[in-house]
Structure 1
């Protein structure tokens, strides 16, 4: 295992912040359906832009191999709040004045090295609505494996990013994810796991 593996990351210090570089905490005073006054605490991303009014893009890219089953492109990275390496779909924040389409293509290239073409997107969804107003779209990005750039994809990670790219067979994604989790002691992003459960459920209907 490489010395730069995300599994080498560890917690050092945890600080409570009201206003950080990326996140702000807020208190909401609201009324419930009975008219009673209530209070809710929430976290807000400080990076949302007016161009899209969307925080982030999560990316589905399926590799269509000519001689073996389809595979989905995934990533592993250490997520400090979980104190674990997390299996995820490639994803990233939308930069100022950037569109969803270009964000999806850029993030796929940066995190995985694959050159792709934006195909379509989901509606805007909320990742954890009990905690934050952070939202995102699911973008489908096509990858042409005949493209010379995709023969030996090389991620273009930013400073401080330690992300591993891997693929799993799409037709058995749920079982494959659970096998990786058991083998490596990592965990999985809920959105990816729910995506896998949906695929598995569809096979049973």
Structure 2
């Protein structure tokens, strides 16, 4: 079953080796000395990003983009997703559009920019200030200081610029964009895993939250 994911991307690992700190452009390792609640001095090893803009509280944004067609207002909402091979895990990963912050950029502007660059779609951040931008979230705080905000966006499929979206990928980016019904996200994540894909934590957490809401009738 894992052949489904591998067939879509011919990227492959050549080797892994230790990275000299002087060579690091994106991340580095740090040793933190701290005192625990009982007064014991301890050491913690962790990763640290080198790309966070000065004065910014986050490294990146993730984009939860919902496709909407005004001509069919009762259609089930669909979530925009991507397939992208990731070298650290040597797998094609199911992800939401995402990207690093630029200096002087707001999270909302970064989300709209990244969405257009990676998918070609022009989106609009939700105008509901209670649900437009998530709190700062840490991907793996036991290992790395990397953090982000999720930005909630809608994409109007009736707009001329969204009829034939054309992504503007960087030379090193190989991304396949697709969408799934929002209420089927949990089932689709299970299916993708069986097919050999890795599931990004942001996608998995969103799917799990939707499934909790359905099973415990929270809405």
Per the TM superposition, whether the score is higher than 0.5 is yes
Q: Name the TM tier (shorter chain).
A: over 0.9
Q: Deviations over 1:43-100 (max 9, x none)?
A: 1110001242210000101112317421100011011111100001111100122211
Counterpart in the other structure of 1:93: 100
> TM-score under structure 2 normalisation?
0.87
**Partner of 2:150: helix, strand, or coil?**
strand
Structure 2 residue runs of 5 or longer lacking an equivalent are 1-6, 127-131
**Partner of 1:60: helix, strand, or coil?**
strand
Counterpart in the other structure of 1:111: 118
Deviation at 1:135, TM superposition (A): 0.8
> TM-score under structure 1 normalisation?
0.93
- Of residues 41, 44, 67, the one that matches 1:63 is 67
Deviation at 1:142, TM superposition (A): 1.7
- Of residues 9, 12, 17, the one that matches 1:10 is 12
Alignment of 1:150 onto 2:162:
yes
Alignment of 1:172 onto 2:176:
no
Deviation at 1:6, TM superposition (A): 6.0
1-structure distance, mates of 2:26, 2:172: 15
2-structure distance, mates of 1:6, 1:34: 52
1-structure distance, mates of 2:178, 2:55: 32
1-structure distance, mates of 2:86, 2:120: 21
* Contact 1:6–1:78, Cα closer than 8 Å, also in 2: no
Aligned-residue RMSD, C-alpha: 1.4
**Partner of 2:9: helix, strand, or coil?**
helix
* Contact 1:52–1:100, Cα closer than 8 Å, also in 2: no
2-structure distance, mates of 1:17, 1:68: 49
Counterpart in the other structure of 1:23: 27
Alpha carbons of structure 1 residues 171 and 104: separation in structure 2 relative to 1, 3 Å: same
Deviation at 1:180, TM superposition (A): 2.6
**Partner of 2:191: helix, strand, or coil?**
helix
Alignment of 1:204 onto 2:215:
yes
* Contact 1:76–1:88, Cα closer than 8 Å, also in 2: yes
Counterpart in the other structure of 2:145: 133
